[in-house]
Amino acid sequence: MINNKLLMDLAKELGMENTMAAERKAAQYKDKSDEELLKEIAAMKDQIKKNPEAFEKQLKSIYALRPMMSGEQKARLDKIIRLLES
């Protein structure tokens, strides 16, 4: 189960140190469709991959969430991971 501590740990791993910043960032994406989110991720991919060490660390954090997800969530996450790794 995903709890507040896990979310805050993940936010810290992704460079969002405080709770308010993480909440604001999450709110920006709340009402977007999968298609819109995938377009944004694709646009950010080059920026994300500029630091290979940070990219690998972020992917490890993402993979750590996978066991706590439903089948549908895992499928969506896998699509995002394939996009980032391509």
What does the pLDDT read at residue 2?
57
Contact status, residue 37 vs residue 43, Cβ threshold 8 Å? no
15 torsion bin: left (phi>0), alpha (psi -120 to 50), beta (else): left
CA pair distance 85, 49, nearest whole angstrom? 9
pLDDT in tens, 29-72: 778 888 888 888 888 888 888 888 888 888 888 888 888 888 98
What does the pLDDT read at residue 14?
67
What does the pLDDT read at residue 21?
67
Query: Looking at per-residue confidence, does 79 or 15 come out higher?
Result: 79
What does the pLDDT read at residue 61?
82
In the predicted model, is pLDDT for residue 1 greater than 60? no
Domain ranges in the chain?
4-85
CA distances from 68 to 31, 37, 82 (A): 22, 21, 19
